Amino acid sequence: MTDKSFPLHDEATAPDAARPALAATRADFGMIPNLERTMATAPALLETYTRGWELFETTSLTPIERQVVYQTANFENDCAYCVPWHTLLSLKAGMADEDIDALRQGRDLSDPRLAALQRFARRLIHARGNVAPADLQAFFAAGHDGQAALEVVLGLAIKTMSNFTNTNAGTPLDQAGEKHRWQNPVSPVRDD
């Protein structure tokens, strides 16, 4: 159950400005996930998130690489709502089961190129964007380029919106994600 401050909207209850994004989400997914239903309380957030998601799909990153970025952020931000959803999306993208499990457990990926992407995304999160030159060079040495580095920033921005929404709102997991329910296997680092 969600807090009254964060209702789960649909096209009938959402603010007018959020209704087109909810309708588009229903058309794309065949349903409106609770994340988007929650975000509808703030139509500008919902629109920015859905548009950012669409744009991230057009980047030079492959579908599997995009899921590596997303799941790395989900793990690092301890998002129990997003990890199950991106487990489903990783399966759909054709990611190997062992890589999906590694991302869910916060372990390094075995493929050198994907591992470099995972490490770079992780470093961006932990360094608040201020990565060391060596981090960037390691990313480039694995075959990535400046465009991909900036596209990782886009993916992390999208995940920041969803991860922080879910954490603050206590977004309930949808039935579709129940099979892949997740709890962080390690205690997340907290500043407070």
Between the alpha carbon of residue 61 and those of residues 70, 91, 119, 138, 191, the distances in Å are: 12, 17, 15, 17, 32
42 Cβ contact list (under 8 Å, min separation 6): none
Q: Quote the radius of gyration of the chain (alpha carbons, Å).
A: 17
Of 4 and 79, the structure prediction assigns the larger pLDDT to 79
- 22/14 Cα distance (integer angstroms): 9
Q: What percent of the chain has pLDDT over 70?
A: 95
Q: Are 43 and 17 in contact (CB under 8 A)?
A: yes
Q: Are 100 and 64 in contact (CB under 8 A)?
A: no
Supply the pLDDT for residue 189: 56
Residues 54 and 73 in one domain: no
- 192/65 Cα distance (integer angstroms): 32
In a domain, 33, yes or no: yes
Q: What is the average pLDDT value for the chain, to the nearest integer?
A: 94
Supply the pLDDT for residue 187: 61
pLDDT at 188 over 80: no
pLDDT tier, 192 (very low <50, low <70, confident <90, very high otherwise)? very low
Three-class HEC string of 48-99: HHHHHHHHHCCCCCCHHHHHHHHHHHHHHCCCCCHHHHHHHHHHHHCCCHHH
b/e code 10-24 from CB counts within 10 Å (16+ = b): eeeebeeebbebbeb
- 59/52 Cα distance (integer angstroms): 11
Final residue of a structural domain among 58, 81, 100: 58
20 is in which domain, residue-wise?
8-58
Which CATH number fits the domain that encloses residue 25?
1.20.5
Supply the pLDDT for residue 123: 97
Residues 39 and 102 in one domain: no
pLDDT tier, 43 (very low <50, low <70, confident <90, very high otherwise)? very high
Residues 103 and 121 in one domain: yes
Supply the pLDDT for residue 162: 98
Over residues 45-104, the pLDDT tens digits come to 999 999 999 999 999 999 999 999 999 999 999 999 999 999 999 999 999 999 999 999
Over residues 98-125, the pLDDT tens digits come to 999 999 999 999 999 999 999 999 999 9
Lowest mean pLDDT among 2-6, 69-73, 134-138, 141-145: 2-6
Between the alpha carbon of residue 33 and those of residues 9, 29, 66, 190, the distances in Å are: 10, 8, 20, 28
Residues 92 and 135 in one domain: yes
